[in-house]
Amino acid sequence: MKKDEIIELLKEQLKVANDTVSSLTTQVNELIERIKSLEELLVQKGIAIDKANRQNKALGKLVSGKKSERQEKNPQASMTQEEFDKKKTEQAEKRKARKNNGARRDMHYEMKEVHVTIDPVMDAEFLKTLRLFGTRTCIRYSMEPIKFIKTVYHINTYTDGSIMYPGKTPPALLLNSSYSPSFAAGLLQMRYIYSMPVERIIKYFADNGFTLRKATANKLIARSADVLENFYKAICQVVLQQDYVSADETYHKVLLTKTKPTDKGSKKGYFWAVSAPKLGLVFFVYEDGSRSEQVILNVFSDYKGTIQSDAYAPYRKLESDAYLDIMRIACLQHVKRDFVDCGKEDKDAQEVVDILNRFYREDKKHKVGVNGWTVEDHLAYRQSYAPDILQDLLEKLEEISSRKDLLPKSTLAQAVGYALNEYNAICDIFKRGDTALDNNYIERIQRYISLSFTFAPGNKFKRIG
């Protein structure tokens, strides 16, 4: 081919390539425009969804009677800096004027006293030439760290030639153990009364000069439980003999022994508690951490009397014909708690809370055992004030539940449903003069379980008394 022909051929190929590039560029630009358009649509759709969600949320609050956070007025925002500083100064002056409210210092007369005489620091011979002018008294409280005592008994044995007369050491808590009952009692107190994990107890002991292995501590706790088993059985018997008890359950993380690599190291274990508030006694039931209703139903299988509890299904079952000798009464705090959770903005919920508070205001005006006030007096008093409050409570609950604008799954609807289901059990509270209005007594006891960090019951801890 000639030179001119080659040039023409290359020009044609270059033109085709340029046309192709131009076409592809146009397509790319079109795709970019489409992508931008889709992005704008997605943004607009997201804005619309957010707006719809806000509207639905606001509508739900309006329907349930709640105010939005934007409707909340901040009282501090309306104050000027000068007013704020003035208010702060007034509060400081009030605190300064209040001092200690005239309170007296606690003198701790129950403590052992050590008396020390302090003379001026000077030459002893010169001090003898002076006469005593006066004496002031000053008190200081000090604390000694935990003290460990190692007692070595040298046991002598005597004989008259035919009979041996050996000496005996004080009774030991455990056979062939070097630890005294006071040591085991201190260990159990730290573990279960003060909710200290075994690891922390061991460190505390070590910091105060006594080395205790973890395995030894755990074994000592477990063996002490065997010794206390008879106390536990006695407590169970006495509590269940009372005609008024309270019941509750709580859960805790329980350690497990791994037998397979796939086994879990822990599980949620449930502890059931039954207490006799009048006696201040309580016992716990642990059946492999089960929350099955059969655990607590077995406890009350032969019980006769009044049981106070929340509305958990196993307790509600005690109201059936299978337990004719049992009357279950409600816990007003469980009923009240659901309405408190609705928030202060919910006027209907707050009205129910106010009605429930009326029970407490009336009931605390008298106390059994004070100024000759008897259980019979308190029963008569309850039957005089309770009917009107109970009627107001029922009317308010029925009024709220009949509203067509009440959302079925709202917090208020659930609170009303719970209260209506418990209404008969609430009324039963006032059939006696010696019952509490709530289950707070046993719930405070359950805090001992909640405050513990880890707990490994093992086979020895089927029950805890």
The 3 state secondary structure assigned to 305-367 is EEEECCCCHHHHHHHCHHHCCEEEECCHHHHHHHHHCCCCCCHHHHHHHHHHHHHHHHHCCCC
Specify the pLDDT at position 101.
56
Do 207 and 263 belong to one domain?
no
Do 321 and 450 belong to one domain?
yes
**Domain contains 46:** no
Place of tokens 């030179």: 3
Read out DSSP for 182-240?
HHHHHHHIIIIIS---HHHHHHHHHHTT----HHHHHHHHHHHHHHTHHHHHHHHHHHH
Do 348 and 286 belong to one domain?
no
Helices (H), 99-213: 124-128, 181-188, 198-207
**Domain contains 95:** no
**Domain contains 323:** yes
Specify the pLDDT at position 170.
87
pLDDT digits (tens, 9 = 90+) for 406-457: 888 889 999 999 999 999 999 999 999 999 999 999 998 888 777 664 444 4
Do 326 and 443 belong to one domain?
yes
Do 355 and 306 belong to one domain?
no
Do 338 and 432 belong to one domain?
yes
Specify the pLDDT at position 50.
62
**Domain contains 290:** yes
Do 316 and 446 belong to one domain?
yes
Q: How many residues would you count in the chain?
A: 465
Among the three residues 227, 256, 272, which one is the final residue of a domain in this structure? 227
Structural domain range at position 289? 228-330+439-465
**Domain contains 13:** no
Do 286 and 358 belong to one domain?
no
Specify the pLDDT at position 96.
66
CA-angle at 108, arms to 103 and 109, nearest 5°: 120
Do 162 and 209 belong to one domain?
yes
Which residues, 6 or more positions from 260, have their beta carbon under 8 angstroms from its beta carbon? none
Do 235 and 284 belong to one domain?
yes
Among the three residues 197, 227, 257, which one is the final residue of a domain in this structure? 227
**Domain contains 79:** no
**Domain contains 445:** yes
Per-residue burial over 2-28, b if 16 or more Cβ lie within 10 Å, else e, is eeeeeeeeeeeeeeeeeeeeeeeeeee
Do 297 and 364 belong to one domain?
no
Which residue positions in the chain have pLDDT lower than 70?
Answer: 1, 43, 46-48, 50-51, 53-54, 57-78, 95-104, 451-465
Do 242 and 361 belong to one domain?
no
Specify the pLDDT at position 108.
84
**Domain contains 107:** no
Is the model's pTM score more than 0.85?
no
Structural domain tally of the chain?
3
DSSP 69: G
